[in-house]
């Protein structure tokens, strides 16, 4: 469903990605590992269309999307959760979730927004107890759940996740991992950057990024 070939990316004159090729099939969980600065965030951002200057071929369901702006990629079914979460911190949990809906409505054609909301609540019962709390008053882990839940409201077909279990309390790490594995079982494809081995052991493929290059696949 996603095929990347020969992707290069540059911040100014500094090259951050070198000839990266990978694919994610229907319902697959693919993990990208690599040290800090290896290029994981740059890769995910390039795929969703918010990265630095890039060259190469990105195909989504057979269509070349390399020149598509981010909002068009999102509408076509690519969902992204950034490492820094990018929530509307002044808005409540509920508002953060519903604000994502108009975007998703265009792409889905299946579950209604209300059904998606119920599904997200079932996946993250923690959020149900804090629907009216401003996002600024949530812990890091709760914010991470909300960021994922918000992206799920757009009914993505492929989730691009940048270190979803990083820097959050251990009890929420387990809840986040379980929610992601549940989504994977339901057939949501995922490309996940992580430095720990939380999802890698469940992945169809693990790609290792070293200094902007993919150097092995398992
Ligand atoms: P981390 O786990 O620390 O987020 P990463 O694997 O996601 O690391 P990137 O953030 O993609 O790595 O960084 C890849 C390279 O690009 C690094 O050398 C980094 O310094 C550089 N880089 C990242 N963002 C920028 C930027 N906005 N401007 C210039 N260089 C950048």
Q: Please state, in angstroms and rounded to a whole number, the distance separating the CA atoms of residues 18 and 28.
A: 24
Pocket test for ligand 1, best of 32, 34, 38, 50 (most atoms within 8 A of CB): 38
Can you tell me the distance from the alpha carbon of 204 to that of 214, in angstroms, rounded to the nearest whole number?
16
Atom 31 (ligand 1) nearest CA: 11
Which one-letter DSSP state was computed for residue 36?
Answer: T
Specify whether the CB–CB gap between 188 and 156 falls below 8 A.
Answer: yes
Does residue 196 have its Cβ closer than 6 Å to ligand 1?
no
36 in ligand 1 pocket by Cβ < 6 Å?
Answer: yes
How far, in Å, from the CA of 133 to the mean position of ligand 1? 33
Give the range among 15-19, 40-44, 83-87, 136-140 with minimum mean pLDDT.
83-87
Confidence of residue 109 (pLDDT cuts 50, 70, 90): low
What's the pLDDT band for 85 if we cut at 50, 70, 90?
confident
Residue nearest to atom 14 of ligand 1 (CA): 39
Q: Is the pLDDT of residue 105 over 70?
A: no
Q: How many domains does the chain have?
A: 1
Nearest CA to ligand 1 atom 2: 36
Mean pLDDT over each residue of the chain, to the nearest integer: 91
What's the rounded mean pLDDT across residues 110-122?
Answer: 88
Domain hosting 176: range is: 2-217
User: Angle CA(126)–CA(178)–CA(152) in degrees, nearest 5?
Assistant: 65
Give the pLDDT confidence score for residue 137 in this predicted structure. 94
Tell me, what CATH number does 80's domain have? 3.40.50.300
Q: Is the CB of 40 under 6 A from ligand 1?
A: yes
Residue 104 neighbours by CB distance under 10 Å = 22
pLDDT category at 216 given cuts 50, 70, 90 is: low
Whether residue 37 has its Cβ less than 6 Å from ligand 1:
yes
Indicate if ligand 1 lies below 6 Å from the C-beta of 11.
yes
**What is the predicted pLDDT for the residue at 16?**
98
Helix intervals (H) in the chain: 40-48, 70-75, 93-98, 101-107, 113-123, 125-128, 140-152, 170-185
Label residue 103 by pLDDT band (50, 70, 90): low
pTM of the complete model: 0.92
Mean pLDDT of 23-43: 96
User: pLDDT tens for residues 173-190?
Assistant: 999 999 999 999 999 999
According to the model, what pLDDT value does residue 106 have? 47
When pLDDT is averaged across residues 14-27 and rounded to a whole number, the result is 97
Q: Atom 17 (ligand 1): residue with closest C-alpha?
A: 37
């Amino acid at each position: 469903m996603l095929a990347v070939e020969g992707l290069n990316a540059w911040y100014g004159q500094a090259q951050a990605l070198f000839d990266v090729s990978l694919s994610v099939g229907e319902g697959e969980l693919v993990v990208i590992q690599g040290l800090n600065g290896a290029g994981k965030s740059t890769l995910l951002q390039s795929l969703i269309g918010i990265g630095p200057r890039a060259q190469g071929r990105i195909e989504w369901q057979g269509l070349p999307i390399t020149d598509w702006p981010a909002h068009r990629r999102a509408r076509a079914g690519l969902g992204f959760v950034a490492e820094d979460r990018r929530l509307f911190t002044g808005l409540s949990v509920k508002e953060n979730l519903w604000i994502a809906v108009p975007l998703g409505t265009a792409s889905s054609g299946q579950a209604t927004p209300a059904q998606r909301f119920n599904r997200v609540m079932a996946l993250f019962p923690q959020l149900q107890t804090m629907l009216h709390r401003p996002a600024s008053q949530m812990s890091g882990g709760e914010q991470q759940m909300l960021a994922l839940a918000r992206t799920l409201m757009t009914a993505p077909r492929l989730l691009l996740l940048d270190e979803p279990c990083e820097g959050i309390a251990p009890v929420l790490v387990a809840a986040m991992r379980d929610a992601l594995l549940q989504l994977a079982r339901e057939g949501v494809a995922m490309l996940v950057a992580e430095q720990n081995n939380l999802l890698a052991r469940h992945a169809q493929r693990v790609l290792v990024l070293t200094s902007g290059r993919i150097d092995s696949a398992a």
